[in-house]
Amino acid sequence: MSRMCVVLLVFSSICTVVVGAPVTVTGYRGERVNISCSYESGYESNSKYLCKGECIIGNRNIIVRSGSPAKDQRFSLRDDTTARVFTVTITDLRTADQGLYWCGVERTVFKDVYSEILLLVKSG
């Protein structure tokens, strides 16, 4: 019986909690786009991040995280803890930026909370 509990605990630790329906954001090549991610009360001091593609534990492509420099300087993250919204700004938008992103709120004991963003980049 204890072996089954260990398997269940390991399984639950790699699951993710996805909140809300996917959001589509459209931007234009060469311009700036903002991706806004809301979060619940109680997570104001938690780390926030944006990852691209699959965002699974052990294989996260975190583009930008609160309190850390971004991998690509075109990305920045600003957290408005009063409104409980963090905003990722991408400048000089490129076609390669198009794709699936995840807004993440890091939690220490429980699974991180994610919201799904589909970024479309158009020529304009």
Whether 5 is in a domain gets the answer no
pLDDT tens string, the chain, 124 residues long: the values are: 333 222 222 222 333 455 556 789 999 999 999 999 999 999 999 999 999 998 877 778 899 999 888 889 999 999 999 999 999 999 999 999 999 999 999 988 778 888 999 999 999 7
Whether 2 is in a domain gets the answer no
The token pair that represents 58 in the structure block: 């052990």
Return the CATH number at 21: 2.60.40.10
Number of domains the chain contains: 1
Quote the domain boundaries for residue 104: 16-122
The token pair that represents 55 in the structure block: 């965002």
Q: At 46, is the secondary structure helix, strand, or coil?
A: coil
Whether 49 is in a domain gets the answer yes
Amino acid at 108: T
Phi and psi at 89, nearest 5°, equal -110, 130
Q: For the whole model, what pTM was predicted?
A: 0.80
Whether 56 is in a domain gets the answer yes
